[in-house]
A and B are shown apart, each in its own frame.
Chain A
Amino acid sequence: MKALRLLTGCAALLLALGGTGTTGLAQHVHPAAPPSAAPARSQSLYALSATLSDQDGRSVGLDLFRGHPVLISMFYASCPDACPLLIARIQRIEADLSPRERANLRVVLVSLDPERDTPEALQALARARGLDESRWRLMRASDDTVREIAAALGIKYRRLPDGSFNHSSVLTLLDRSGVVQARVDGLGRPYADLLKRLRAAAAP
C-alpha cells in the first residue's frame, strides 16, 4: 500500500520527494531525490520571481500571497467556455471549505491576454462574477512573463489570429511557501485530492 500512503501522506513527505503533484488521474513522477537533497534547491514556484499587475493596476510579485495557500490558474476575460467554468469550479471548491479555511485561501488568476484584459476589464469581470476581491486577484503581465508562468504551471496555450486563445485548464494548489501540492488537469476531473491537501495547507 506504499503508493496509496504516498497519496494520502503529509506535505513534508511530498517536499522531500521534490514537490510532485497529482494531476487528476495521472501523476508525473520525477526520479525521487533522497530526503537529504540539497536544501539549496528551492521547491517553491515563487523562485520564478515575476512581476505582474492586478485588477487595481497595482504592481505585485507572483508571491504576493506567500504565507497563504493559493489556488492559481490562467484564463482570459473574453473566454467563452472554459474560463467561466474554471471560476465556477474554484467557487465550488471554496464552498466546500469551512469559513476559516476559506478566509485563509487566496486565488490568483493570470490572464493570457494582457492586451485586452486591462485593469478595467479585470475589475468588471471580478464584479460580474461576484468575486471576493480581498482574496481573489486577477493579474496581467508581459507576454514573456505570461509564457514563463504558463510553462511553470504546465499550461499550454496559443493565441489565435482572431485574438482568442486555445488553452488548457490546469488548476494548481500552492502551499504557504509556494510549493506545488496538487494539480488538476482539465475541468471535468475530480478534485477531491486537491481539496484534501488544500485543507491541510489551510490548517493553522
Chain B
Amino acid sequence: MRSTWKVGGLLGVLTLGVLLASPHDAAAQARPPVKAAAAPAAPAGAAVEAVLTSAPDVPPPLTRRDPAKVVVHLEVREVDLEISDGVMYTFWTFGGQVPGKFIRVRQGDTVEFHLQNHPDNKMPHNIDLHAVTGPGGGATSSFTAPGHESQFTFRALNPGLYVYHCATAPVGMHIANGMYGLILVEPPQGLSKVDREFYVMQGDFYTVGSYREKGAQPFDMQKAIDEKATYVLFNGSEGALVGDKALKAKVGDRIRMFVGNGGPNLVSSFHVIGEIFDRVYTEGGSRYQENVQTTLIPAGGSAIVEFKAEVPGTYIIVDHSIFRTFNKGALGMLRVEGAEDKLVYSGKEVDADYLSEKAGPPSTAVASAVTALEKGTLDIKTQTAAGEMLFKGTCSVCHQTTGQGLPNVFPPLAKSDFLMANKQRSIEIVLKGLNGPVTVNGKTFNSVMPPMSQLRDDEVANILTYVRNAWGNKGEQVTAAEVTATRSKIKLPPGAAH
C-alpha cells in the first residue's frame, strides 16, 4: 500500500529499531525463522551485497531463511544504444541497459539503497520502487545530481514482484527512455523450485522518426502524450530476445518468467505462442490463476508466469495486441530443445486430399475400383486399395487407421474375432449400425455405431474387403451384389437414408 509522508516517521522509527538492534547479531541468529504473518524480525548476520543481473538473467533464488541487511548499489547511466537494427537511441538506464538490473530480496529484508548518478550523465535522477512503503517509494530520498550518490533505507514489508522506475520530472520522459526494472521480494519460504527463470520487461518507445527509420532518433514527446508508440519492445531493443539471443530451455524444464511492463503508456496482453501458462501470479501478487493463455500486465506492473516445456521448438513471445508484435517489434523467442513427444504434439500427421462427398474427381484407387466394377474386372487387390481410401475418410475416425480402435470405447477390427466370425453380420452392421454390448477379443464394448447410410453398396463391399484382409486378418472378398442383397433383406432403422 502506498502511504503519505506521515509514514516517513514510522519508517524512521523502524530504521531506528534496526540501527539499535544491529549490535545484537548473535541473538538475532538464534531466533527461529519468521512466518509471513508475524512482526518483522531485525536482520540477522552480516550485511549482504545484493547480486544484481541484467535481463534476461535472474539472480539465483535466495537460500537464507532469515531477513538480512541487503546493500544495493545501482548506477544510472545515460547511454546510446541500438533500439533496432541501424537505429540509435539515447537510453537512460539503471545499470547500463533496458530494463534495469533485477534486484532480488526477501520479505523482511532491510535494504540500504545507493543510487549513483554517473558523472557523465546530464540529468538528475531518482528511483521509485513499488516495493517500498514510504514517501514516493524512495523518490523523495534519492533525488541525485550527476556525479553524486544518494542513500536511503527501507524494509521490504510485502512479498511480490514489483516495478521500479525513475520519478524525476518530466516523469513520462524518464520512463519512456527506459528507466525501469523489477525488484522481487521473495516470501519467507521462497518460491517453488523451477529449472529456469527468465527476466522479460516490455516497454513502449517514441521516436521522432518512424519505425525502423535509420540513424539517431530523438525522443518524441508529442507521440508519447498521444500514446502513439513507434516501438513496443521486450528488453529495450528489437533484437533483444531473438536469434542467438533467444531464451533457451530444455524439454522437461519447468520455466518461470518474471515479466514486467515499464510502460510508460501501454498495457501488455502477454502470450507465448504454443504454450499455456500453468500458473500466473497475476500482477505479481501472491495468488495464482491456472491454465491461462494470455495475461494482462498493467503499465507499471508485473506478472509471474510458469509453465513446463513439453515439446521442443521455438516459442514466440508476444504482446497479443498483435500489431505491436508484427509492426512495432514486440517479439521474443524461447527455444526449447530435446526429444519430441508426438502424443502431446505430433507435428503434421496427414497431408491428405480432402474430398467432400460431392467433390470433384475421386482418388485414383477409388476411381479404378468403380471403373473395374463397371467392366466386371474387379479383383480383390483393387477393392482393397479402394477400400483403404474409403476406410480412412470414414471408419478410421473411430476404429483408427491401425484398426486398433480405442480401448474401452471403440472395438478393434485388427484380428477381431467378432468381425471375422461372420461375414454376413459385418455387412449388416455397416448398413444398419450397432448398439449395445459386444465382446471383441474378450473385451466388452458398449458404444454406438451409426448406420453408414452415405455409402453405396460397392463402397461398402470395398471397405469390408479391405477390413477383412488388413492388419493380419485373413478374410475373403465381399461383393457389391452381396451388399445389395443384404440391404434388401434387412430393415433399416428409421432415419437411415439411402
Contact = CB atoms under 8 A, between A and B. Distances in A.
Q: Do A and B bind each other?
A: yes
Interface of A: 1-4, 7-8, 24-31, 188-190, 192
Given A1-B22, A1-B47, A4-B19, A190 B150 contact: no
A30 B150 CA distance: 9
Contacts of A2: 47
Describe A's contact surface by its main secondary structure.
mixed
The 8 closest A-B pairs by CB, nearest first: A26-B141, A190-B12, A27-B151, A29-B149, A4-B22, A26-B152, A3-B112, A1-B47
B22 A25 contact: no
A26 B5 contact: no
A26 B142 contact: yes
B121 to A, nearest CB: 15
A8 B18 CA distance: 13
A28 B22 contact: no
Nearest to A190: B12
B75 to A, nearest CB: 13
Nearest to A188: B9
Contact of B69 (A1, A27, A29): A1
B46 A25 contact: no
15 contacts: A1-B22, A1-B25, A1-B46, A4-B19, A4-B47, A25-B12, A25-B152, A27-B150, A28-B150, A29-B150, A29-B151, A188-B9, A189-B12, A190-B9, A190-B13
B153 A25 contact: yes
Contacts of A190: 9, 12-13, 16
Given A1-B69, A27-B150, A27-B151, 4 more contacts: A7-B19, A25-B8, A29-B149, A29-B150
A192 B9 CA distance: 12
B15 interface: yes
Contact of A25 (B11, B25, B71): B11
Nearest to B114: A29
Interface string B231-260: 000000000000000000000000000000
B148 interface: yes
B125 to A, nearest CB: 14
B320 to A, nearest CB: 42
A192 B8 CA distance: 15
Interface residues of B, number: 28
Nearest to A3: B112
Given A2-B47, A25-B15, A30 B9 contact: no
Contacts of A24: 12
Contacts of A188: 5-6, 8-9
Contacts of B149: 28-31
A26 B22 CA distance: 19
A25 B69 CA distance: 16
Contact of B148 (A3, A28, A189): A28
A198 to B, nearest CB: 16
**Among A26, A30, A190, which residue has the most Cβ atoms of chain B within 10 A?**
A26
A105 B118 CA distance: 40
B208 to A, nearest CB: 36
A31 B142 CA distance: 16
Contacts of B150: 26-29
B141 A25 contact: yes
Interface in B39-60: 46-47
A8 B147 CA distance: 26
Contacts of B11: 25
Interface in B1-29: 5-6, 8-9, 11-13, 15-16, 19, 22, 25
A192 B13 CA distance: 10
B16 A192 contact: yes
A76 B257 CA distance: 57
Contacts of B148: 28-30
Given A24-B12, A190-B12, A3 B152 contact: no
Contacts of A28: 148-150
A7 to B, nearest CB: 7
A188 B11 CA distance: 12
A8 to B, nearest CB: 7
A28 B148 CA distance: 8
Contacts of B151: 26-27, 29
A31 B146 CA distance: 12
A28 B145 CA distance: 10
Interface in B121-171: 140-142, 147-153
